[in-house]
Amino acid sequence: MKYFLLVGGFIGFVVAFVSGWNAGNSPAVVLRDATVACFVGGMLFRLLHAAFISGLKAKLLDRSRFDAAAEPPEEEDPRPRARRRRA
Residue 8: enclosing H or E segment and its boundaries?
A: helix 2-22
Digit-by-digit pLDDT tens for the chain (87 residues) are 789 999 999 999 999 999 999 999 999 999 999 999 999 999 999 999 999 999 999 888 887 776 666 666 666 666 666 667 676
Global model pTM greater than 0.85: no
Task: Assess contact for 38 and 10: CB atoms under 8 A.
Answer: yes
